[in-house]
Amino acid sequence: MNDETTLSVTVTGRDRPGISARLLSTLSVFPVTIVDLEQVVLAGRLVLGTVLEVDERVAPGVSRRRVFEEVRHALDKTAIDLDMEVDYASGEHRVNDSSANDRLHVTVLADPLRPGALGAITSCVARAGANIDRIERLSSFPVTSVEMEISGAAGDPARLAQLRAELAMEAATQGVDVAVQPSGLHRRAKHLIVMDVDSTLIQGEVIELLAAHAGCEEEVTRVTEQAMRGELDFEESLRRRVALLKGLDADAIGKVCQEIQLTPGARTLIRTLKRLGYECGIVSGGFTQITDVLVERLGLDYSAANTLEVVDGKLTGGLVGPIIDRKGKAVTLERFAAEAGVPLEQTVAVGDGANDLDMLQTAGLGVAFNAKPVVRQQADTSVNVPYLDTIAFILGITREEIEAADLHAHAEPASIGHTSLH
């Protein structure tokens, strides 16, 4: 016992108000300092752990053994009064003080999250030579998500690459989503999130809705399929499809606005991020006539899209101005970041198609949302559940924080139509 330098104390029992205050007050009369401290509540059970060290500045020359014996005796009595259990461990405790440069956040999302899947993910961490310092539940709805804070992998590029590769493979095998991000103050700094529109912020494709009004759905679909087979680049594909809309009454755009459905969780995500200080923008290969409505209804900070040419109340089948294509989306992200005063490493991009890849790779964090396989493989992380607000969990935002934002806003409507959002 003479070489005992610290005392670890773990208190467990039914959670209720005042427990932590009572326990810490018991310690306050002793010449000890807190080296480490953590408290969690799980299923109504409190677990409070602390590591104590004798403060020789207050009591020089005092016997550590005697101080820790008196602490044990006092805590035992308090624990009995509170109907709690207390355990002790003595020795030399090393606090994990690894730098932020050697720490990572690994977020796991699934519906449902099974023990075997989480066990496989934690095994990947162990094989990479990293240590899990903390696991925290972020949400249980609409998906279960947990965040692990790990150390010992980020500082070694080879080990980090191994960890990312193994986690990606294991996530695919287990049917879960996994995001790996560096730790540090930048996680809580000002951020910018930029989202694709069609099949990301909203469900479906605007041009297909317009084509339905113009009676040319089959022709538009054929051109789209050619582009997907690589027979046409994005600009040529877009111009061919827009040409098919020639003569369509411009009033059809307003009707399409009524028909568009937001992706579940879209308003919740934007509302939460804006309340937490994020700047929010959209960039689309679609049309400003639609994105302008989204900006107004969702309170977005930035937007960019292509513009349909309208003359005498009808679509001409042409476009006005330069085309926003795959490269243009990345350039637009950079422009939004410069205007917002946000470094690129603090930007988040979300998209689903190959047209979004440059933007996803330019951003600090690129998220493939219900994306095609080629996009999932090249993005930093992917989300494969149909709820856009799950992206908040990847950013370390808890369900409780989302619900707090909801207290300041109305319930989420289903569409972006004028009637729904007034």
User: Using N-to-C axis directions, what is the helix angle for 115-127 and 157-174, rounded to 10°?
Assistant: 160
Q: Which two tokens stand for residue 288?
A: 């400003």
Q: Which two tokens stand for residue 325?
A: 């294509």
DSSP code of residue 114: -
Catalytic residue among 198, 352, 356, 389: 198
Task: Tell me the residue length of the chain.
Answer: 422
**Residue 198 annotated in active site:** yes
**Residue 352 annotated in active site:** no
Backbone angles phi, psi at 312, to 5 degrees: 55, 40
- Give the closest residue to 285 by CA, choosing from 330, 220, 230: 330
Which value, in Å, is the radius of gyration of the alpha carbons in the chain? 27
Rounded to the nearest 10°, the torsion over CA 358, 361, 363, 369 is 90
User: How far is it, in rounded angstroms, from Cα 262 to Cα 390?
Assistant: 15
Q: Which two tokens stand for residue 415?
A: 């569409």
Q: Where are the alpha helices (DSSP H) in 261-372?
A: 266-275, 288-298, 326-340, 357-362
Catalytic residue among 15, 102, 111, 196: 196
Asked whether 366 and 349 are in contact (CB, 8 A), the reply is yes
- H-run or E-run covering 226: helix 217-228
Strand partners, 351: 368
- List residues with catalytic annotation: 196, 198
